Structure 1
Amino acid sequence: MLNVLRVIVQKVNAAKDLQAALEIIVHEVRVAMKTEVCSVFLYDNDENCYTLMASEGLNQSAIGMKLLRSEGLVGQVGLREEPINLQDAASHPKYRYLKESGEERFHAFLGVPIIHHRAILGVLVVQQQEVRFFDETEESFLVTMSAQLAAVIAHAEASGSLTRQETGRATKDTRFAGVAGAPGVAIGEAVVLSPPAYLSAVPDRPAEDIKLEVKRLRRALKAVRKDLKHTAKKLAASLPPEEIALFDVYRGMLDDNAIGAEVRTIIEQGQWAQGALRQVIEEHVKTFEMMEDPYLSERATDVRDLGRRVLSHLQQDDNVEEVVYPDQCVLIAEELTPAMLGEVPRDKLVGMVSVKGSGNSHVAILARAMGVPTVMGAVDLPFTRISGIELIIDGNLGRVYPSPSVELRGYYQEVVDQEREFVAGLEVLRDKPCITTDETRVSLWVNTGLMTDVARSLDRGAEGVGLYRTEVPFMIRERFPSEKEQQEIYREQLQAFAPFPVTMRTLDIGGDKALSYFPIKEDNPFLGWRGIRVTLDHPEIFLVQVRAMIKASLGLNNLRIMLPMVCNVAEVEEALHLIHRAHGEVVSEGMDVKLPPVGVMIEVPAAVYLVRDFARRVDFLSIGTNDLTQYLLAVDRNNPRVAELYHSFHPAVLAALGSIVRDAHAEGAAVSICGEMAGDPAAAVLLVAMGYDVLSMNATNLPRIKWVLRNISAQWARELLEKVVTMDNAFVIQSTMELEMRKAGLGKVMVSARASQD
């Protein structure tokens, strides 16, 4: 049966359109189950009815006949969302005879629902003349078949609606869901980019001339390095030097002494250049994909893109017709990469969509920095067929609308115009403090990564760094960086923000975030050897890093050290002992430097219940709401199948956040937020109401949050908090927050188009 299922799914996947897919289904299922009838009914939510779309065994004149949502046995299968198995269908009180179908001679009936993402798509039915129940094996097969085909049918339906729009026969707006990558709304023309080459298709092959293969490799590497330099130059006007330096890292990776040397070694062993390149790139991609940190694991996409570009030169496939970009360009790709951004003139790029990837991919991070609305993970989008079509990109909700109706386009155009006007007016807030109307002071800090955009952060009024990821310098090397190397890196960060505080998280590796030179393999990496667990097991690594941080702070005294993923008091005490030891060693070297404040990250559920114990031992606490929400709800936030279950306004998340700040303040410890929640206007209001001292966020969001908080009173926020904490549904809480903020005159900041969809 497994083989039969596999064959049917493969045939359906290869169908040219929805109708062809349905006809394959009814034929193949009828043959596999040896039944006399197989039919597919699809449900239309707008018309609230089922339509017989395909059948083998019933009269073909019945195709197109309709049943109301609750009508007949088909309607009952959909309402109950479970199989109905009858030995004599006509005797059932809900039986509805389809005129001209010829089904009066069939007695046995088995119908199963076709469900995709909790939505009923239709019903799959088999029938026989014999009066009998279908046995358990037959029922199980049909249920399995339905589950296997649900996603295929959903995708085919979406593609079919796109075709109807192209021919002007659309009756409703089609929406494709993804993951919010960068906020904002864009309207423009789709331009689809394809990767220049596919590494996975490259076979192994003996090198006929090793010297020639090495020469071809060097020529290809040189060409790609030149391309990257050109791309960086084109992006220089849009991004600061720190961000542009990422392309220097990529060029360095392609150096003759880096990836080039690894590929050359394999060539010298007898492999041709393309095969050797594939082996090396795939190994590097695996290393990055194993890393637990979403920000770092997404670097696999960048490495894969570099490999593809080198391969394209090796294949001498450079004579591709140049793409013409429209003035309002929405860039689409199966997997967007940073290098692709440089191919579009910045003044023409208004939005982006990536079929693969998450909100933590480097493209999404760059998009947020550039202010380009972006949707990631739009897995159902038939991207190969939308080039040249007008699209609406809703980066707030992660939605894509191809060929929108006049009404929908008009609504979103108004949103775009209001947002542009609103953002332009925020520049005057840069040097103003974030104080509520009733004099509550809130500090707004920024989160930074590898290419820290210092200028952008300070230009937007940042008062410090709430999270600086120190592990990234470890990732771009083939060994642990020395104490001196780390000191220079940290000094640059501390000087740039001085006198504002800079919170440096200690090395956060381990589990499935292993370094290439420090491999870690585990069955369950998310609950494995990671973060503080690794560094405490290797004090030689921890001490070198902490000494480098302390030395880097000499004369600046704006360093704060933060410990990741702590889950018990013993870890904190042991880490504090090592930090005091490192400080003593630095002082003994003759450096007059103060012991920096030390804090912990609250990002696992166990830590929520130990806040008071932690607060008695450290100087501050910071909540990583991304991981805390993910662990509390047991939801992978980058998995589209469960994305709706990940919600920062979940009552349990709000309860945990309230408990943390109360316990921390009871012990006199300052507490901050350094997760994505801090950059959400509605969430920021609740966090201020709870009493958080610092909100740390992406620099792009900082002016918006400052505007909101300067236009509310802390008392109003507390009253709103009291109202929503009694609610038991995250979506109701979010809707309530948005409604109350609009009533309070804060509608400008609520730029999502929720009102037009729900």
Structure 2
Amino acid sequence: MDMHDRPTGGEHSKLASLARLIREVDSAPDMETALRVVVERTRVLMAVDACSIYFTEHERRRHVVVATAGLAPTVVGQVQFGFGKGLIGRVAESALPINLEHVPEAPHQEFVRQSGSGPFHGFLGVPITHRGEVLGVLVVRQRVVRRFDDADTAILTTLAVQLGGAIAYARASGDLCGLCRPDGAERGWIEGLPGAPGIAMGTGVVVFSSTDLAAVPNRKPEDPRMEEQHLRQAVTRVQEEIRQLSADLDGTLSAADRALFDAYALILDSPEIVEATVARIHQENWAPGALRQTIEGYTRHFDAMEDPYLRERGADIRGLGNRILAHLRGGSGTTGDDPSSIILIGHQLNAIDLGLAPRDRVRGLISAEGSSLSHLSILARALGIPAVVGIGRIPLEHLDGQEVVVDGNRGWVYPRPNPTLRQEIERLIREEWGLESDLKTLRDLPAKTLDGMEVFLHTNAGLIADVPLMMAVGSAGIGLFRSELLFMRYDRFPSEQEQMKVYRQMLEAVAPLPVNLRTLDVGGDKPLPYLPLVERNPMLGWRGIRLTLDHPELFLTQLRAALRANVGLGNLRLLLPMVNGVAEVEETLTLIDQAHHQLLEEGIASSRPPVGLMIEVPSAVYQAEELARRVDFFSVGTNDLAQYLLAIDRGNLHVSQRLDPLHPAVLRALWHVVDASRQAGKPVAVCGEMAGDPAGALLLLGLGFRHLSVSAAVLPRVKWAIRSVDFSHMASLARQALTLEKPEAIRRLLEQTLKDAGLDRLGGAVSENGKTVREARAATGTPRYPGSTAKKEQRGHD
């Protein structure tokens, strides 16, 4: 950075004030308070005469003031501009900042007429957006002529970004009705991405880390006295930790440095922490929530200080608060007195969160981060739990304890549904149950098209507990056994004997049906806790076959365990992950032969199993002909293949919504792989999530895939779809899809195919369910927000 580009002292002060403002907005108890904080603090921070926030009401095609500082309070709910009208309309329409040192006469007169205020000349307005939709406009005004600089625009834009998610939630929950629509309003919904199909309704339960105090929601305590006792016990434990740490460092740190621990102990003894938290507990908040309120109030004073050293003391207080929370709340944020129907909610839900929750009561999942191809989505589909992911920067804590509807077919969340909507949702859920009952009758029937083409439906598995589920739905075997789940259960690499025991159990339980055991596939978004990796780009890093080839001792141990487990059974097939070319295949085959010969020399009658490889990276697609000559079968992982072909990290919230398995490049890659395997006379399967969507499965059938591996929860839906169509029609469908240039066009083609086959009820991630909450919304007149239907279709989510 050039010396002249560095922030000045005044700019440093502004940036520090901006950071404090954002923290204050985050901790605001409700939307109205957050808006008030923004306009009041921004007016002071930017030294302007007025700051206002307009909300955009798409259904009424207007922008209306909902908060202001510097104008008369009566303008709230009254001052408004229609779409395309005035400067506010221009900001919203262009979705770009507008900066004027002198407002033109016509817009100026209209604003003066509506607000009843004197003249303003300087104007800076920035759009407030969420997920690409304009939700409002944040504006500052100056009475004198003023040209706002780039730093002013950056500050206002930062605040607008901060407000986007909060406003989207407030719109959906109806919290803003009294602000911008005095006559009342129907509630809308929060828009995310489909994680797992289905519709669910229940009480929101927010999961938070035991060391993330800021994410703790407010809850009414069941027993305030017990909460107080838990708090005091947690504080005592932290005090003991501090004393022990100070004693351990005696002789290492100076007396002055160790005095900091004494200061911590004094803080914990002070009434500002413990007694203030106790008071909040008895004011109807549980201990973690009361602790969060106390720490936030305490640190706010430090954050407001200009002295950098004193500001850092606020961070110390937060650290103490997190330590107390860690003792106060071990594990997940769920409790033993959770409601009977839970919608599990978190900023980044994972398998552990789901595992710690009472599984028999979890009805749906909501995660701020993630995509339709994230591992949470895959797990949710495997368990048959409706899920919505990737909803973005939404104040999830406000959903805690509220009734919530999850529409996993569309990727929408409905907070606090009104009675009419709730009634429609209950009807749709009953229909879903009826569909599941109908699907059970397909268990022993073949997955054969109307004109006689048979498809072999396998299931994905990782645990022995998955076997009863796959048997219950009539699976043809395990198309993908995720061996990494075994490695994740240990705090070290499992031994050959430990692995052999698990593999043997799985092979015996499924025999004589085949088991495709994928060799160790870790790294990237699947790290091992005892093999920490710090990589700049882990998705392109040391993962899959690359890792095991670099550690042949680990690979040979796994191969020996698998081959020993297969003795006398013969249903093992090995599957190699993340292969990028011929050299890796040949090196791997050499190690497989080595393990086989070792066992023979030891007197173990092992046999060499068929070996296949995953097609997951573009290089494997373009060497498919050469690879097919060296292995016995292919299995396409559409999740990773789409990710690498489109250069989109499926775990990255900012871009994951652009990851579309129906992208023409993905379909053409699939066609190329099928053609190469056909010429080599080798079978090819799909084990990615595309196969688990009924519409996607029909397209794969048309492309030439005869083996699909899906979760047990969706296998009956896929089987019903296959049994309802002609293969010749699907082949024609695939040829037509390969000529299309946009995913949206391919999606519409598939939706029409489902409709023509009478499969509207099946739904899924690729296709849109014919009977979803959309119908309930239409029945109740609930407005769609944010955005418009046209915009949604343009983004290709329908």
Aligned-pair distance for 1:643?
3.5
Does residue 75 of structure 1 match 2:75?
no
Q: What CA distance in whole angstroms lies between the structure 2 residues aligned with 1:366 and 1:566?
A: 24
Does residue 629 of structure 1 match 2:642?
yes
Letter in 2 for 1:619: D
Contact 2:373 2:639 in 1 (8 A): no
**Mind listing any 5+ residue stretches in structure 2 that lack a counterpart?**
1-13, 215-233, 245-264, 266-322, 778-788, 790-798
Structure with larger RCO (C-alpha < 8 A, sep 6+): 2
Letter in 1 for 2:613: V
Which residue of 485, 488, 495 maps to 1:472?
A: 485
Q: What CA distance in whole angstroms lies between the structure 2 residues aligned with 1:110 and 1:550?
A: 70
Could you say which residue in structure 1 is the equivalent of 2:57? 44
Does residue 187 of structure 1 match 2:175?
no
Could you say which residue in structure 1 is the equivalent of 2:754? 741
Measured against aligned partners, the alpha-carbon deviations of 1:696-729 in whole angstroms (never above 9, x if no partner) come to 0101111111111011111111222233333333
Could you say which residue in structure 1 is the equivalent of 2:709? 696
Contact 2:409 2:763 in 1 (8 A): no
Could you say which residue in structure 1 is the equivalent of 2:618? 605
User: More displaced, 137-146 or 337-346?
Assistant: 337-346
Q: What CA distance in whole angstroms lies between the structure 2 residues aligned with 1:574 and 1:689?
A: 35
User: More displaced, 744-753 or 457-466?
Assistant: 744-753
Does residue 173 of structure 1 match 2:206?
no
- CA 168–550 in structure 1, closer or farther in 2 if over 3 Å, else same: farther
Aligned-pair distance for 1:473?
2.4
Could you say which residue in structure 2 is the equivalent of 1:243? none
Could you say which residue in structure 2 is the equivalent of 1:3? 16
Does residue 138 of structure 1 match 2:146?
no
- CA 329–540 in structure 1, closer or farther in 2 if over 3 Å, else same: closer
Measured against aligned partners, the alpha-carbon deviations of 1:526-557 in whole angstroms (never above 9, x if no partner) come to 21111111111122221222122122211221
Does residue 619 of structure 1 match 2:637?
no
SS of 1:161's equivalent? coil
Could you say which residue in structure 2 is the equivalent of 1:439? 452
Q: Following superposition of structure 1 onto structure 2, how do residues 64-143 of structure 1 map, counting pairs within 5 Å?
A: 64-91=78-105, 96-102=110-116, 105-143=119-157
- CA 126–311 in structure 1, closer or farther in 2 if over 3 Å, else same: closer
SS of 1:114's equivalent? strand
Could you say which residue in structure 1 is the equivalent of 2:250? none
Aligned-pair distance for 1:614?
0.8
SS of 2:115's equivalent? coil
Q: Following superposition of structure 1 onto structure 2, how do residues 13-412 of structure 1 map, counting pairs within 5 Å?
A: 13-63=26-76, 64-91=78-105, 96-102=110-116, 105-158=119-172, 161=175, 171-188=185-202, 190=203, 192=205, 198=211, 205-206=239-240, 311=327, 323=337, 325=339, 330=343, 346=360, 350-353=363-366, 368=381, 370-376=383-389, 384-386=397-399, 389-405=402-418, 408-409=421-422, 411-412=424-425
Q: What CA distance in whole angstroms lies between the structure 1 residues aligned with 2:56 and 2:641?
A: 39
Q: What CA distance in whole angstroms lies between the structure 1 residues aligned with 2:170 and 2:62?
A: 19
Q: What CA distance in whole angstroms lies between the structure 1 residues aligned with 2:70 and 2:328?
A: 51
Which residue of 591, 595, 598 maps to 1:582?
A: 595
- CA 403–653 in structure 1, closer or farther in 2 if over 3 Å, else same: same
Aligned-pair distance for 1:414?
4.0
Letter in 2 for 1:676: E
Letter in 1 for 2:96: E
Could you say which residue in structure 2 is the equivalent of 1:223? none
Q: What CA distance in whole angstroms lies between the structure 1 residues aligned with 2:580 and 2:135?
A: 44
Aligned-pair distance for 1:673?
0.5
Letter in 1 for 2:189: R
Does residue 652 of structure 1 match 2:641?
no
Letter in 2 for 1:70: G
- CA 209–365 in structure 1, closer or farther in 2 if over 3 Å, else same: same
Could you say which residue in structure 2 is the equivalent of 1:277? none
Measured against aligned partners, the alpha-carbon deviations of 1:705-757 in whole angstroms (never above 9, x if no partner) come to 11110111111112222333333332443233123211221122227327547
Could you say which residue in structure 2 is the equivalent of 1:543? 556
Aligned-CA RMSD value = 3.7
Q: What CA distance in whole angstroms lies between the structure 2 residues aligned with 1:199 and 1:619?
A: 49
Aligned length: 657
User: More displaced, 412-421 or 524-533?
Assistant: 412-421
Does residue 508 of structure 1 match 2:513?
no
Q: What CA distance in whole angstroms lies between the structure 1 residues aligned with 2:404 and 2:600?
A: 61
Contact 1:196 1:309 in 2 (8 A): no
Does residue 686 of structure 1 match 2:699?
yes
Aligned-pair distance for 1:507?
1.4
SS of 1:652's equivalent? helix
Measured against aligned partners, the alpha-carbon deviations of 1:317-361 in whole angstroms (never above 9, x if no partner) come to x9x9973745x6655567687687787694x66445456777788
Identity %: 40
**Mind listing any 5+ residue stretches in structure 1 that lack a counterpart?**
211-270, 272-306
SS of 2:145's equivalent? coil
Which residue of 438, 453, 457 maps to 1:425?
A: 438
Contact 1:512 1:522 in 2 (8 A): no
